Amino acid sequence: MTPILALFRRDLTLAFRVGGGPWLALAFFAGVILLVPLGLGAAPGQLAAVGPGLLWIAAVLAVLLSLDRLFQADYEDGSLEQLLLADAPLSLLVLAKCAAIWVTTGLPLAAASPFFAIQLQVDEEIIPVVALSLLIGTPALTLIGAVTAALTVSVRRGGLLLSLLALPLFVPVVIFGAGAGAAAASGLPYGGALMLLGGLSLFFLVIGPIAAAAALRLHLS
Amino acid sequence: MISSAGAASGAVRMSADHLVCVRGGRCVFSDLSFTVERDSLLAVRGPNGAGKSSLLRVIAGLLDLDAGAVRIEGLGDRPQATAIHFIAHQDGLKPQLSAGEALAFSQRLLGGDGPLAPILAEMGLVRQADLPVQFLSAGQRRRLALARLLASPRPIWLLDEPMSALDAAGRDLLRQILERHLAGGGLAIAATHDTLPVAGETLVLRAAEAGAAA
């Protein structure tokens, strides 16, 4: 357990020292949300209809941007080789890295989403559903992204390629994530969408670290 | 979990049997066989591209073999990866962590529980302990990488150009820690172009051809 916790703490420390921790993702999130009324106009009711979907798209973009350096920095400075010699399976170390990056992106985004939902004039009753869907769904985004980040770890400036690989895989997550908010807005039951979202997160919790670890081994050999 | 260096490496012995490594369609080395006894050092030499680093990566388990096997005896039920230290070309240090934090992280990652202050003192890094790694010189970073060897006792050391960027005092430090490691029953394999400060056997790799033990 020690190596896994140590890596989690190290990545959190690095996130705070390099990128200002959660503030970077939050500032980006705020920037995207604040552009929306400028692009779509702020007529009453107009933003409320698209609000939950916009929050999800902003979250997807924020998670994508955070993934670029997930493994690449470790790959370039030789830390990745040390991880392979650790007294812990690589897949669990990958999970520790994913957890650290989720704590500094997905979690603060979900926590701050009610505030941004108010800005988009989303209905009060729907706001908790949107926040909950982000809380349940962003782990899946991070874990899927980790696999694509591992696949593109040796590609210089591979952010675009990473996004190209990750975006199609994000589709089911966004469908059920934004779908939960849309269902709640139309007064339909949204529990099923949230449960499917949780199922996706759990599925990628198992598959993601194993696949990412395999991809990293491939790149080191 | 991790016993002391001496006990952990009681009778470690490594034998490589007809190793073949092909990378990118090119045969790096083939039919390479050697043994390294406990308390001995093997120096791997050869021109650039002869496969010295590849050999170390194969032994560390980072690179797959195309044929042959590396056997390590005397590990008991300890997984092979946790018996090996690999000091690669890159030092594997995070620029934003201080030297002390980097060493503490490495110890928690690789195992071991000894105090770190004496190790930093021995490697001449006391004044740099609170300094971010990005402000260390290349030689100081190399010393910090070598400090990992002491922080986590492991019986097998794989060193890729261990003396690069080290000054005379640093080379002497390397000699001291190598001698102590070998005296404790460990073994070491070093790829180098320089003369190692400790006597040992030499394995010469030829460019893109079979190697021969000398």
ipTM for the complex shown: 0.87
- The predicted-structure confidence for B107-118, as pLDDT tens digits, reads as follows 999 988 889 999
CA-nearest residue of chain A to B21? Answer: A221
Cα distances (angstroms) measured from residue B52 to each of A97, B32, B59, B154, B208? 31, 12, 11, 21, 11
Residue among A2, A85, A220 whose CB faces B84 most closely: A85
Q: Give the best residue of B110, B136, B146, B161 to mutate against chain A (max A CB count within 10 A).
A: B110
Distance from CA of A53 to the nearest CA of B (A): 37
Q: Where are the beta strands (DSSP E) in B48-144?
A: 67-73, 84-87
- The predicted-structure confidence for A86-134, as pLDDT tens digits, reads as follows 989 999 999 999 999 999 999 999 999 999 998 888 888 899 999 999 9
Q: Give the best residue of B94, B130, B156 to mutate against chain A (max A CB count within 10 A).
A: B94
| Contact yes or no for B63 and A220 at CB 8 A | yes
State the Cα angle at A16 between A15 and A18, rounded to 5°: 65
| Contact yes or no for A87 and B86 at CB 8 A | no
Q: Hey, is the C-beta of A1 within 8 angstroms of any chain B C-beta?
A: no
CA-nearest residue of chain B to A9? Answer: B105
Domain residue spans in chain A?
Answer: 2-220
Q: Diameter of chain A by CA atoms?
A: 58
Q: Name the DSSP letter for residue B113.
A: -
Rounded to two decimals, the pTM is: 0.89
Q: Where are the beta strands (DSSP E) in chain B?
A: 13-23, 26-36, 41-45, 67-73, 84-87, 156-160, 187-191, 201-204, 212-213
Q: Would you write out chain A's pLDDT as a tens digit for each of its 221 residues? A: 799 999 999 999 999 988 788 898 999 999 999 888 888 887 777 888 888 889 999 999 999 988 888 899 899 899 999 999 998 999 999 999 999 999 999 999 999 999 999 888 888 889 999 999 999 999 999 999 999 999 999 888 888 899 999 999 999 999 999 999 888 888 899 999 999 999 999 999 999 999 999 999 988 87
- pLDDT score recorded for residue B208: 58
